[in-house]
Structure 1
Amino acid sequence: MTLPLRIGIWALVHGNRAALHDPEEPYDASWARNRRLVLEAEALGYDCVLIAQHTMNPHKPELGQLEAWTSAAALAAETRRIELIAAIKPMLYHPVVLAKMALQIEEISGGRFAINLVNAWNRKEIEDAGMVFREHDERYAYGAEWLSVVERLMRGEAVQHDGRYFQVRDYMLRPTAATRARPRIYVGGESDPARDLVAALADVWFINGQPLENVQALIADVRRRPRAGAPVRFGLSTFVIARETEEEAQAEYRRLLDLAQQDGEIKAYVRANTDPAVVMRKTQAKFESVGTNGGTAAGTVGSYDQVAARLAAFHEAGIDTLLTQFQPFEREMRRFAEHVRPRLRAMGATAG
């Protein structure tokens, strides 16, 4: 069964998504802005928001950085419908503590909370805090054990666990989720260990923006892997530039691409602190694009009709959660809601 396409946004946890020096979008990663952004997104009909997790700004340490989990808790009390997805790097929180936090935000939100496990790419953020930044495959082994404990705790089970990384004795958390078995689990990452983890424990796999044929191959690969329970669902990140005409969209794309060239120092800083084994960076290097997590590599630059058709094709391929990025964010988020979403609805991709 094909589920309706759910459309969400990325919170601006570290400001601009395409280029730092944009006169049309001054840098602002504050709580006040993100609160306004998410409340407006909910009013416009967006279905979810991903709040990425960083403790220090990964692009430029002196810039502001929103904290994911305190913000998610505050947004849970302020919103009424939108799903709140908070990213988590397993090495930052013991699974018992994280599971308790997740269940508390689940209660505050009335059953609209989700976690997004990411195994981290920023070595500096972890090592400068005095913690161990494990190598790529070991991070996934650690993350898999961590998530297996969190998943059972969020279900309300009495957990006995004697593993390589964690020992938990007769631990049970209350209250549990009131409206469902537990908060939803999203997982990011595209390496082979990441795909195994997705097949084992994820409800939804987040795929970074890339061409349709790549995404089709990734979905097919995960669907072939052993799986217990309901099938994995699939999400996609993409940066959208939509205009009345393709020429107008391409002009805006070139504007952002030119502005992004001014961020050379920032990009060098990010490269220096990135684990070279991270598949996301290798994939992004293959494409000219703007935005993060694949950006425009999914081909979502064009006229309103072209962008809607492109997104409908991803939906037909199996994507049922779309995470959008824009710049300037608020203006383009409104444009998408006004012009692209009605076209998707007319195609039968989104709910009415």
Structure 2
Amino acid sequence: MPARRCAKTCGRTDGMAQSISRTDRSSLPACGIWLPVYGGWLRAHGFDTPPSFGTCLAAARAAEAAGFDLLYASENLLNCLHGPRHDVLDAWMTLCGVAAAAPNLALVGALKPVLRPALLAAQTIAGLDQIGQGRAALNLVCGWSRDECEEAEVAWRPHDDKYTHASAYLDRLEASWSGHGDAPRRALFNGRPRPEIWLSGHSNAALALAGRRADVLFVNGMSADDLAAMRARLDRAANGRPVRLAMNAFIVQGETDDAALRRRDGLLARANRDLIALYGRAMTESGAESWRHLPEADLIDGNGGFAPGFVGTADTLRRRMKHYAEAGADIVLCQFPDMDTDITRFGRSILRAADLEARQA
């Protein structure tokens, strides 16, 4: 696939899986947004707004207009930011609902193998792919919440066993999409054999599976040095097979760097420490490698988004993103404090500006 904008080639008609690749925006990574299926993005006072489809739809429209490359919806049956009694939207139904509002963006949904039978998941993803005309992709998330498994009445698996199960689960998904063997057929758009497959995780088990089967490894936010080390680990696990690297980041933009830093500090000062402690314990108990030894600032959002330090003016953020591209980031999935205004500001001042520079080069 050409590297320009995945958005321009998402609806392929040649039967091949789409590929979300680095753009040619002066070496910036491809950029996506997290749809706010949990409500506000921080475990902080004032962010516990209930999720709504209307908010997700508005975010999708804003991302389309602002020049982003993809939409991402996370799957949890229990709200992982604001507590298990808070509502949460279904990732796949939300993506189906916003697909028409963002016709140029890839549609990436998280999928927990433990929560959905493989045939049901194959059918759900095929349905989204038909609606989006070849734009669906899935991110396998093996899960960290024991409480979620108990509420869903499914068995909790030890950490490495989850990845063994995920590999067999992928076999069943691909058999349904391709029609090979005796599996019931669930056809993707234009008969393509498989969508793009992401996998989340930091552990050796996660990287081994990503190296063998995934197109993209999705990791939490981290320092550029740590990302470069993750890139090296992934390359070793892939053994020459091309696997791209996606990272989470929480974006705090301001008119000046000092203003952005003050804005970030104000967000951190509103941290809900009881919620952070609750999820810190749950993540530690899960055995997940990605959550070990994280400070409170990295637990205020769901995926270590403050760790990359994407805080500053448009110029500062652009330089920061280029630095991360050089460290190995092919895709950055963005969260914002204010979904109403920050998506548009970031897109206009960074993505559209870089598009213009690329056309003039």
TM-score (norm 2): 0.85
Matched, 1:123 2:123: no
Q: Tell me which residue corresponds to 2:10.
A: none
2:269 aligns with 258
- In structure 2, the partner of 1:146 is 169
How big is the shift at 1:276?
4.0
Aligned residue for 2:104, secondary structure, equals: coil
2:32 is aligned to 8
Structure-2 change in CA distance of 1:117 and 1:283 (3 Å): farther
AA aligned opposite 2:195: P
Distance 1:347 1:40, change over 3 A: closer
* 1:3 CA drift (Å): 3.4
Q: Which amino acid in 1 is paired with 2:302?
A: T
SS in 2 for 1:50: strand
CA distance in 1 between counterparts of 2:300 and 2:319 reads 20
1:72 corresponds in structure 2 to 95
Q: Are residues 1:296 and 2:306 paired?
A: yes
Residue 31 (structure 1) aligns with: 53
Of the candidates 238, 255, 258, which is equivalent to residue 244 of structure 1? 255
**SS state of the match for residue 307, structure 2?**
helix
Q: Find the residue that maps to 1:128 and give its secondary structure.
A: helix
Higher mean Cα deviation, 286-295 or 215-224? 286-295
Structure 1 unaligned blocks of 5 or more: 160-169
State the SS of the aligned residue for 1:187: strand
Taking only aligned residues, the RMSD between alpha carbons, in angstroms, comes to 2.4
Aligned to 2:190: 178
Instruction: Give the aligned residue type for 2:233.
Output: D
Among candidates 297, 300, 323, match of residue 313 of structure 1: 323
Amino acid at match of 2:269: D
Residue type at the aligned position of 1:327: P
- 97-106 vs 55-64, which moves further: 55-64
Question: Identity over the aligned pairs, expressed in percent?
Answer: 27
Instruction: Using structure 1 for the length normalisation, give the TM-score.
Output: 0.88
CA contact (8 A) 1:19 1:256 kept: no
Would the alpha carbon gap of residues 338 and 107 (structure 1) be closer, same or farther in structure 2, given more than 3 Å must change? same
Provide the rounded CA distance (Å) in 2 between the counterparts of 1:81 and 1:346.
Answer: 18
> What is the CA–CA distance in structure 2 between the aligned matches of 1:259 and 1:287, rounded to whole Å?
11
Q: Say whether 1:271 aligns with 2:294.
A: no
1:242-278, Cα deviation, whole Å (9 max, x unpaired): 2222111110011000011xx1221222234333411
Q: Structure 1 CA distance, aligned partners of 2:97 and 2:30?
A: 23
Which AA in structure 2 matches 1:39?
Answer: R
Residue 335 of structure 1 is aligned with which of 328, 332, 345? 345
Measured against aligned partners, the alpha-carbon deviations of 1:153-199 in whole angstroms (never above 9, x if no partner) come to: 32x1323xxxxxxxxxx114143331743211111111000000110
Alignment partners' CA distance in 1, 2:320 and 2:360: 17
Q: Which runs of 4+ in 1 moved over 6 A?
A: none
**Counterpart selection for 2:334 from 311, 315, 324:** 324
Kept in 2: contact 1:53–1:67 (CA 8 A): yes
User: Which residues of structure 2 form unaligned runs of 5+?
Assistant: 4-20, 24-28
